[in-house]
């Protein structure tokens, strides 16, 4: 059964024979292992080229920024899953990263598309007019403005300032950061309330200015959070809290369905 396009059955990422493994055309053992950092390797895998010093610095900064933020859904999910199924660490990591979604953690790509749409709209014209149009279209379609607003860091997300400063120091701050800050200024008037740029918006802006591929933006929170999940799962093996999280969650929810006469729910 032939499904979908199948006219170009090719891949340019890796090939090998018994003696040699090539990754993006480089000999893995003589050119890469021990010679480049993991961050360099991630950039090489994605693009086929080594990052510049600027690109490496910006990518490291975004990966560090989004890796860890306490007992968020992805972390609790991973720890509960390991408690239930300790035989499969990979299952606990997979469960955790399934929470890298459009609402939490995974908004970098949507934020990047939003910034790119404004630049596309403004092409050859006025940036502010382009931004206003795109924001108003989102508002009309009741779509969230990806990359803005945070439940805890309401007035300003501290990671945003740090990321923008890295981009400025590295000398790669460009049009995407300009648009991202413009949107922050326009939002109060166009949406009716302030929405501070959040870490996903800043990740998208600085990485796009550094030349990172738009279609891989979601890979940054995915890779970063994987590192954090592994740390939480190491701690879970040594100081388990997975079932404590479950119990606390269950205790916070009231059953409001029907009960037969005389039934009393357990206190546990």
List the interface residues with a copy of itself, window 14-73 (CB under 8 A). 14-25, 27-30, 32-34, 36-39, 41-42, 45-46, 48, 57, 59-61, 63-65, 67-73
Nearest to 160 by CA among 206, 192, 117, 116: 206
Q: Which of residues 181-220 bind a copy of itself (CB under 8 A)?
A: 213, 215-216, 218-219
Does 126 bind a copy of itself (CB under 8 A)? Our answer is no
Give the one residue of 51, 55, 74, 147 binding a copy of itself; rule: CB under 8 A. Answer: 74
Does 76 bind a copy of itself (CB under 8 A)? Our answer is yes
Euclidean distance between CA atoms 238 and 198, whole angstroms: 33
> Is the CB of residue 180 less than 8 Å from the CB of residue 135?
no
Q: Please state, as a whole number, how many other Cβ atoms lie within 10 Å of the Cβ of residue 147.
A: 27
Nearest to 119 by CA among 160, 171, 177, 62: 177
Of 123 and 263, which has the nearer Cβ to a copy of itself? 263
Euclidean distance between CA atoms 236 and 80, whole angstroms: 9
Q: Give me the least distance between CB of 125 and a copy of itself, in Å please.
A: 25
Q: Which of residues 245-264 bind a copy of itself (CB under 8 A)?
A: 245-260, 263-264
Burial 54-90 (b: 16+ CB within 10 A, else e): bbbbbbbbbbbbbbebeeeebbbbbbbbbbeeeeebe
Give the one residue of 123, 142, 193, 239 binding a copy of itself; rule: CB under 8 A. Answer: 239
According to DSSP, residue 212 is labeled: -
Does 117 bind a copy of itself (CB under 8 A)? Our answer is no
Give the one residue of 143, 154, 185, 189 binding a copy of itself; rule: CB under 8 A. Answer: 154
Of 88 and 129, which has the nearer Cβ to a copy of itself? 88
Q: Give me the least distance between CB of 147 and a copy of itself, in Å please.
A: 16
């Amino acid at each position: 059964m032939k499904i979908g396009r199948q006219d170009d059955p090719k891949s340019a990422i890796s090939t090998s024979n018994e003696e040699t493994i090539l990754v993006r055309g480089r000999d893995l053992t003589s050119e890469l292992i021990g010679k480049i950092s993991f961050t360099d390797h991630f950039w090489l895998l994605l693009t086929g080229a080594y990052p510049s010093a600027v690109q490496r610095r910006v990518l490291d900064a975004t990966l560090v920024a989004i890796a860890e933020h306490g007992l968020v859904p992805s972390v609790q999910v991973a720890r509960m899953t390991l408690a239930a199924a300790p035989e499969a660490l990979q299952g606990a990591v997979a469960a955790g990263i399934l929470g890298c979604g459009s609402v939490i953690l995974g908004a970098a790509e949507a934020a990047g598309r939003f910034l790119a749409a404004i630049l596309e709209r403004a092409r050859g014209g006025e940036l502010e007019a382009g931004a206003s149009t795109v924001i108003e279209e989102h508002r009309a379609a009741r779509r969230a403005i990806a990359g803005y607003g945070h439940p805890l860091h309401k007035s300003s997300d501290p990671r945003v300032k740090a990321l923008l400063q890295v981009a400025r120091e590295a000398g790669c701050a460009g049009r995407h950061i300009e648009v991202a800050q413009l949107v922050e200024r326009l939002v109060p008037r166009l949406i009716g309330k302030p929405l501070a740029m959040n870490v996903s918006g800043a990740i998208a802006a600085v990485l796009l200015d550094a030349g990172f591929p738009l279609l891989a933006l979601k890979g940054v929170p995915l890779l970063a959070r994987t590192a954090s999940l592994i740390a939480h799962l190491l701690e879970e093996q040594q100081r388990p809290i997975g079932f404590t999280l479950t119990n606390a969650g269950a205790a916070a929810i009231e059953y409001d369905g029907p009960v037969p006469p005389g039934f009393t729910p357990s206190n546990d």
